[in-house]
Amino acid sequence: MKLIACLLLAPILASAQCAIEGHVELPKTKSAPVMTKRYEIVTKGGVLSTNPPVAVVYLEGNFAKPASLPVKQVVQKDFLFHPSLLAVQTGTKVEFPNQDDAYHNVFSFSPAKRFDLGRYRPEDKPVPSQLLDKPGMITLRCDIHEHMRGIILVLDTPHFVISDPEGNFKLKDLPAGSYKLKAWISSRTTLEKPVTLTKGSTTKVQLP
Amino acid sequence: MRSARFICLVTFAMAPLIVRADDLLDRAAESLSFSGFDDQVRARLSGLIDFEFYHFTHEAPGLIFTDDHSLLSPRFTLFFDAQLGSNVYVFAQGRVDRGFDPGDGDLGIRLDEYAVRWTPWQDGRFSLQAGRFGTVAGNYVARHLSWENPFVNAPLIYESVTGIYDAEAPSSAGEFAEGLVEDKYDYNPVVWGPSYATGLAVSGKIGSFDYAAEIKNAALSSRPESWDATDDGFRHPSISTRIGYRPDIAWNLGVSASEGAYFTGAAAHELPHGTGIDDFKQKVLAQDVSFAWRHWQLWAEMYEARFEVPRVGNADVLGWYVEAKYKFSPRFFGALRVNQMLFDNVPDGEGARQPWGHDLWRIDTAATFRLTPHAQVKLQYSLQHEARVNDAVSHMIATQFTVKF
């Protein structure tokens, strides 16, 4: 039934061709974290890359859910989560491969998904994964390396995009109608603006 | 005792607030990070707030110092970590508590650790560290802080005092054979906790092997007062090494060795004529293994220690433990540890030989519940058996509430 609905909706959505482009005011870039190495016999470097702030911009509304969603990954590499911010639609399966030659222990206490993957080798199969079936923000942490932080934003919409580090974004292939456009910047800041999309137009938005 | 109960009540009343303050603690962590010079200098303050409560059926066990059967031990620990470029790492640890080990003394403030580490190559083949820091021997130091330790206390070999008395030399074999007759704080364990003595260390990794060696101002058994370089300086250095082998990231096997004079300067005038502090050493050989996979973590260590005791000879002791931790759920884990210490015979001064301590074993069980990523509650029960005529079995219950920021 869902498949038929998707097939029927697909040409309508494709013909809508609405878009929103704009800019989100982002906070200043944070410094890279300090890796705690007090009791490690083997110390490897100390330069961790900085993750510049970006926004997740999404359109809130009642949209049909696809029958299946592509599997996404959050990789543990160089003692960081890559990407450090992932946006997915509700129902997406996310894998957590470990590509370091050391253990990590990914866990989340977030109400949207509470899990602890334990310690696993890079070659262990299957790669530990989680089905994210509830919308909300999931904070990823490592039980071994306290500086490691990642965020997965689980959204009840298929229309979302991550801005570039300057705050610019473009949402394409949107259906015409009136919606709420939201820009998630951090756990404490989500900007929003009502938008009305007309068929074939590109709407320009500045947030806030 | 009333004040201890009051602090306990306040602690548990605080727990729900801490749970709600989780986001605040995350923000506090961000606010306590600093950077400059285009991110080439980055520093961070972090800390632990601990409230520990112990109740024991007999005299206070291990390195707990009180005459009562209960003790409340609050502790505030502040850490400083800084990365200077890619090659230099600096860290320090300061504490406010009632003594380095749990006790009923007055609150005091101390700087327990400070060190600078230089890592010239990014592949980790070599690091040089100077300062006051935990020993490289064994595998316990990496998890001795309250957040990482699945138990409230340390394994027996790191906290159970022996008949070794570092401030005075025994006047005869008979006196040494009497065992612990003075105040417990006068005696020494095989390794005093993390042994934050002062010195230099080199460490690194080559293929599947890693190595570490340190030269410090005090032996592994030395007490916290001896760890400062201002006490006896480097007149009686101690050397410790560890060679580790990692067949893969799940396993870590190591062999450690240590040798150093264990008497403090105060004992010098009591040593046999013609001998000095450097003639009486603590010698240690230790093996350690750890394994981790999925929700299991296992550690084991065995220490063979020898103390060269004036007018007695060699006093040998063997100590070992096996420790397992299992995460039942993202927020709840349990741990079990079996410890044992076996004392060899020494002359009793009357022509015979007898053990220089009571053989003992202890079983520790603990459960930890993580309230949030920043707060946890731990509950431990320990059953100890000592090979003596009276009061062979003793029990201890301990609880610990920790906030990490």
Q: Are residues A71 and A153 in the same domain?
A: yes
Instruction: Tell me which DSSP letter residue B378 carries.
Output: E
Helix (H) or strand (E) holding B176: helix B173-177
- B198-212 pLDDT per residue, tens: 999 999 999 999 999
Asked if A114 is an interface residue toward chain B (Cβ–Cβ < 8 A), one would say yes
Q: Which residues, 6+ apart, have CB-to-CB distance to B9 below 8 Å?
A: none
**Which of B43, B244, B331 is closest, CB to CB, to A109?**
B331
pLDDT digits (tens, 9 = 90+) for B109-137: 999 999 999 999 989 999 999 999 999 99
Specify whether A89 is located in the same domain as A72: yes
In this structure, are A7 and A78 located in the same domain? no
* Other CB atoms within 10 Å distance of the CB of residue A148: 21
Among A147-156, A175-184, B103-112, B176-185, which stretch is predicted with the lowest mean pLDDT? B176-185
CB–CB contact B330 A116 (8 Å): yes
What domains are there in chain B, each with its CATH number? 2-404 (2.40.160.10)
Chain B contact present for A40, CB below 8 A:
yes
* Mean pLDDT for the stretch of residues B243-248: 96
Do the domain assignments include residue A123? Answer: yes
**Mean pLDDT score, B227-246:** 91
To probe the interface with A, which of B19, B39, B148, B291 has the most A CB atoms within 10 Å? B39
- Residue window 125-144, chain B: list those with CB within 8 Å of chain A: 127, 133-134, 136, 141-142, 144
Q: How far is CA B282 from CA B81, B135, B156, B259, B384, in A?
A: 33, 15, 18, 6, 26
| Position B237 pLDDT exceeds 50 | yes
State yes or no: pLDDT of B2 exceeds 60. Answer: no
Q: What local confidence, expressed as pLDDT, does residue A50 receive?
A: 67
Contact of A103 with chain B, judged by CB distance below 8 Å, is answered with yes
Q: Domain of A12: which CATH number?
A: 2.60.40.1120
Domain residue limits at A109: 67-157
Assess whether pLDDT exceeds 80 at residue A107. yes
Q: Give residue B17's pLDDT.
A: 67
Q: CB of A1 within 8 Å of any CB in chain B?
A: no
pLDDT tens track for B295-332 = 999 999 999 999 999 999 999 999 999 999 999 999 99
Residue A72 pLDDT: 98
Residue A43 belongs to a domain: no
Note whether residue A142 is domain-resident: yes
Residue B251 CA, chain-centre distance (Å), reads: 22
A179–chain B nearest CA distance, Å: 30
A23 and A101 share one domain: no
Average pLDDT over every residue of B15-41: 79
Q: What pLDDT does B23 receive?
A: 74
Tell me what the pLDDT averaged over chain B comes to.
93
Please name every residue paired with B205 in a beta bridge, in sequence order, or none if there are none: B210
> Residue B358 pLDDT > 70, yes or no?
yes
More confident of the two residues B351 and B141 = B141
Q: Report the distance separating Cα B157 and Cα B221, nearest Å.
A: 10
Using alpha carbons only, give the angle A74, B369, B380 rounded to the nearest 5 degrees. 135
Q: Does residue A42 lie in a domain region? A: no
Cα angle B21, B112, B399; round to 5 = 50
**Has residue A138 been placed in a domain?**
yes
pLDDT band at B11 (very low <50, low <70, confident <90, very high): low
Asked which of A34-38, A160-164, B72-76, B244-248 is least confident by mean pLDDT, the reply is A34-38
**Share of residues in chain A with pLDDT > 70 (%):** 89
Backbone φ and ψ of A187, nearest 5°: -60, -20
pLDDT of residue A16: 54
Q: Chain B interface, mutation test: which of A28, A37, A42, most B Cβ atoms within 10 Å? A: A42
Give the residue-averaged pLDDT of B92-121: 96
pLDDT score of A28? 83
Of A42, A47, A115, the CB nearest to B330: A115
> Does A12 score more than 70 pLDDT?
no
Which residue, A29, A25, A58, is CA-closest to A167?
A25
Burial class (CB in 10 A: 0-12, 13-18, 19+), A70: exposed
Shared domain check, A153 and A72: yes
ipTM confidence score: 0.88
Between A3 and A110, the higher pLDDT residue:
A110
Distance from CA of B295 to the nearest CA of A (A): 5
Residue A183 lies in a domain: yes
Instruction: Examine the domain organization and report whether A151 and A75 are in the same domain.
Output: yes
Q: What is the reported pLDDT for A45?
A: 59
Residue A149: CATH number of its domain: 2.60.40.420
Average pLDDT of span B10-27: 69
Where residue B28 falls among pLDDT bands split at 50, 70, 90? Answer: confident
Indicate whether A90 and A110 sit together in one domain.
Answer: yes
- Confidence (pLDDT) at A1: 47
Both A94 and A172 in a single domain? no
| Among A205, A154, A150, A200, residue whose Cα is nearest residue A179 | A205
Please state the rounded mean pLDDT for residues B71-100: 96
Determine which helix (DSSP H) or strand (DSSP E) holds A6, and give its type and residue range.
helix A2-16
Maximal CA-CA distance, chain A: 62
d(CA B248, CA B21): 39
- Provide the residue count of chain B: 405
A8 pLDDT tier (thresholds 50, 70, 90): very low
Compute the count of residue pairs across chains A and B with CB atoms less than 8 Å apart: 121
pLDDT band at A83 (very low <50, low <70, confident <90, very high): very high
pLDDT band at A10 (very low <50, low <70, confident <90, very high): very low
Tell me the average pLDDT across A20-38.
89
The count of other CB atoms within 10 Å of the CB of residue A8 is 10
pLDDT category of residue A11 using cuts at 50, 70 and 90: very low
Tell me phi and psi for residue B147, to 5 degrees.
-70, -35
Mean predicted confidence (pLDDT) in A133-157:
95
The partner residue sitting opposite B142, judged by closest CB among A39, A102, A108, is A39
Which pLDDT band, with edges at 50, 70 and 90, does A176 fall under?
very high
Region A162-169: mean pLDDT is 95
In the predicted model, is pLDDT for residue A3 greater than 50?
Answer: no
Residues A165, A185 share a domain:
yes
Does residue B210 sit at the A interface (CB-CB below 8 Å)? yes
Q: Of B259 and B38, which is predicted with more confidence? A: B259
CB–CB contact B212 A41 (8 Å): yes
pLDDT at site B230: 81
8 Å CB contact of B122 and A45: yes
Is A148 inside a domain boundary? Answer: yes
Mean pLDDT value across chain A: 89
Q: Are residues A84 and A130 in the same domain?
A: yes
A144 and A185 in a single domain? The answer is no
Asked whether the beta carbons of B95 and B75 are under 8 A apart, the reply is yes
Predicted local confidence at residue B180, as pLDDT: 77
Q: Into how many domains does chain A fold?
A: 2
Determine the pLDDT at residue B8: 57
Share of chain B above pLDDT 70, in %: 95
Residues A148 and A181 grouped into a single domain: no
- Residue A44 included in any domain: no
